[in-house]
Amino acid sequence: MPDPEFKGCIVIGAGPAGMTAALYLNRFHRDVTVLDAGNSRARWIPRTHNCPGFPGGLSGDELLERLRTQAVDYGTKVTQATASRLERVDGGFRVTDTRGEQYYGRTVLLATGIEDVLPPHPWMEEAIDCRALRLCAICDGFEASDDDLAVYGPLRSAFEHARFMRTYSATVTLVQSDDEPVDAQLRQSAEGWGIALMTKPLELLFDGRRCGFIDASGERRDFDTIYPVLGSRSQATLAIALGASVDKENQLVVAANQMTSIDGLYAIGDVVSALNQISVAEGHAAVAATTIHNVLPRNLREATSPMPQRAPIPRRITDDD
């Protein structure tokens, strides 16, 4: 069997983190393979208003489209594939996808994100789309300011979130998703913070516009906005199988240059133990891609080296802009 051809880097995941990294690596004239299962968290975003550089905001789908267009302009190709195995081999790493295709890289960059745990209802996407449900207070708490808010989750973690939400609204209810008894100390603390408490409801409902709960006594209580805080599933299993260090939520622990505890294996974005935000994912990507470029052997340019096809001609910004 002929020796495999190693790319400079295999990027796994084409959300904001992976696509930003691919853009940087291609602009460093590196050979990169991007694999993507096509399920970025960003595609759930109806409209983000905290993504720097986009006054008026933009939808998650539009952001992904823009990131992809920009990276493709510099030669990035995204292969629709789910990586199912990551192994160390002589010279770097081998990635195998679910169809059995194999890819070889001197380095690997994991940008596989996380998956939100959501209540098991078929209307979740619709409720998020109309902002009856929101998943990320840092992202869009501002837009929910002064709403009648509920935070729905296990007592202890929901209490943390409810306190955070009090900076956005005077009307916050903690709705328990578990049966943990509320002790006197927590009850008093909730009172002090102005947080109402609701024990585990019988049901979560959506009427096409708003969500509400049927409480334990059978009464219906609707809210302007509900934040479910039921946790998330890490998508770091490929790295964990190689022995990479993770935190207690199975998110990858990385050094300042984004390298995991496995030499040559980098991680960026939500899959890393850090703040889950687009701007953070993009920042991680810039750091990791530049580190990878610097650790790979120098790709000295020949007089005859080709430019990537379709590279745009840089446009000068003038005083008229």
Ligand X SMILES: Cc1cc2nc3c(=O)[nH]c(=O)nc-3n(C[C@H](O)[C@H](O)[C@H](O)COP(=O)(O)OP(=O)(O)OC[C@H]3O[C@@H](n4cnc5c(N)ncnc54)[C@H](O)[C@@H]3O)c2cc1C
Interacting residue ranges for ligand X, rule: CB under 6 A: 12-18, 35-42, 44-45, 48, 50-51, 82-83, 111-113, 116, 128, 135-136, 139-140, 235, 269-270, 276-279, 281
User: Nearest approach, Cβ of 188 to ligand X (angstroms)?
Assistant: 33
Phi-psi region of 218 (alpha: psi -120 to 50; beta: other; left: phi over 0): left
Q: Residue 248: what are its φ and ψ, rounded to 5°?
A: -70, -15
Residue whose CB is less far from ligand X, 215 or 224: 224
Token readout for 64 is 């992904």
Nearer CB in complex with ligand X: 111/265: 111
Q: How far is the CB of 74 from ligand X (least distance, A)?
A: 18
Could you tell me the smallest distance in angstroms from the CB atom of residue 200 to ligand X?
24
Rounded least distance, CB 109 to ligand X, Å = 11
Q: What is the closest distance, in whole angstroms, from the C-beta atom of residue 90 to ligand X in the complex?
A: 23
CA distance 52 to 281: 13
Nearer to ligand X, 279 or 299 (CB): 279
8 A C-beta contact, residue 118 and residue 142: no
**In angstroms, what is the minimal distance from the CB of 179 to ligand X?**
27
Q: What is the DSSP string of 94-159?
A: EEEETTS-EEEEEEEEE---EEE---S-TTHHHHHHTTSB-S-HHHHTGGGTTS-EEEEE-HHHHH
**Cβ neighbours for 246, distance < 8 A, ≥ 6 positions apart:** 234, 236, 239, 240, 252, 253, 273
CB atoms within 10 A of CB 307: 9
Judged by beta carbon, residue 155 or residue 235, the one nearer ligand X is 235
Residue 127 buriedness (CB in 10 A; 0-12 / 13-18 / 19+): buried
Task: Tell me the closest approach of the beta carbon of residue 60 to ligand X, in angstroms.
Answer: 6
d(CA 321, CA 311): 22
Rank residues 92 and 155 by Cβ distance to ligand X and give the closer one: 92
Round the CA-based radius of gyration of the chain to a whole number and report it.
Answer: 23
Q: Which is nearer to ligand X, 124 or 214 (CB)?
A: 124
Closest CB to ligand X among residues 58, 197: 58
Question: Could you tell me if 13 and 6 are in contact, meaning their C-beta atoms sit under 8 angstroms apart?
Answer: no
